[in-house]
Amino acid sequence: MQDGRDGCNWISQEGERVKVEAVPTFLRSTFVLKKKRGLMVIKKEYMNDMDIVQSLKKRKSLIESYFNERMTLSEILKNPGVGGNTFRRFAHMPEKPSEVYRAWASKFSSDARYLKYVDELFCINSNEDYDKWIAKLSMSLNRFWYRHMGLEMDYAPRRKLPNLFLKKLVLWDKLKSPTRNRLIRYLHIPWDKYTLSGIRHCVEDRIPKNATMGFVDNIKIYNTLHQTIRRIANKAGVPPIYYDVLLWDLNHRNNK
């Protein structure tokens, strides 16, 4: 389940490995095609809200199965959801970025200062409270990063990495079902080039055609994206994080 995010091979919007020639010509305008390692990478661009709503409804059962996996806390902390491709943006650092991130995540099992975040998390009962909590968690990562690296983490990964961590944390085998289901409803999207491509026609502010994680470089963009996917998810009757599972996990399941 490691989330390498920007390192896929050959994908389609339905999660199957297909040749580009198998995509009907009249549909190819809804895809972004890119040659990579001799294969074609396909990123879905939905034309409007309802296109995403229909895909979420159609794939709902399969998306829900992602959250049926259970992991021990030690398994989660050993591999807290981020692969090497995400860390490659951090070049020439005094410490290995992946090790600093894992060291931060491991604090949630032993350090009293971090355990308070967990206690607060399990008491959250609204989207608004979770939004504030995950923002605080991103600042916690930023402070930890600064102590080890001597500089702050850019805004985009500062928000993305905690979102990936929480997406993994809800699979913890000690969570009770009501708590897990409640937290799943609040999770934010760890934005990357696939989720950004899929939503680019549904946002008033322009998203560049080849936008990647780095596009989400300030709180205004982040909030706009989150409000947009929350609106669309509400129409589909599913949590916003289902969109990420649709665009990332289902599409990459054959490449893991």
Q: What is the pLDDT of residues 225-249, one digit of tens each?
A: 999 999 999 999 999 999 999 998 8
What is the distance of C-alpha 255 from the center of its chain? Answer: 17
- What integer best gives the mean pLDDT of the chain? 82
Q: Calculate the CA dihedral of residues 121, 69, 256, 12 and round it to 10 degrees.
A: -90
> Is the model's pLDDT at 193 over the cut of 70?
yes
If 0-12 CB within 10 Å is exposed, 13-18 middle and 19+ buried, where does residue 254 land? middle
Q: Which domain holds residue 139?
A: 1-256
Number of domains the chain contains: 1
Residue 192 Cα distances to 5, 151, 156, 223, angstroms: 7, 23, 9, 15
Average pLDDT of the segment spanning 20-39: 44
What is the distance of C-alpha 94 from the center of its chain? Answer: 27
Best-predicted range by mean pLDDT (13-17, 97-101, 216-220):
216-220
> Is the model's pLDDT at 255 over the cut of 90?
no
Lowest mean pLDDT across 22-31, 100-109, 143-152: 22-31
8-state DSSP, 34 = E
> Is the model's pLDDT at 17 over the cut of 50?
no
The token pair that represents 221 in the structure block: 């963009």
Question: What is the number of other CB atoms lying within 10 angstroms of the CB of residue 142?
Answer: 19
Given this model, what pLDDT does residue 79 score? 78
Q: Which of 135, 98, 95, 75 is nearest to 4 (CA)?
A: 98
Given this model, what pLDDT does residue 5 score? 47
The token pair that represents 62 in the structure block: 């399969």
Lowest mean pLDDT across 32-36, 89-93, 95-99, 156-160: 32-36
CA distance 3 to 208: 23
Helices (H) and strands (E) in the chain, counts: 13, 2
For Cα atoms 154, 159, 160, give the angle at the middle one, nearest 5 degrees: 100
> Is the model's pLDDT at 74 over the cut of 80?
yes
CA distance 196 to 192: 6
> Is the model's pLDDT at 162 over the cut of 80?
yes
More confident residue, 118 or 131: 131
Identity of the residue numbered 147:
R
> Is the model's pLDDT at 212 over the cut of 80?
yes
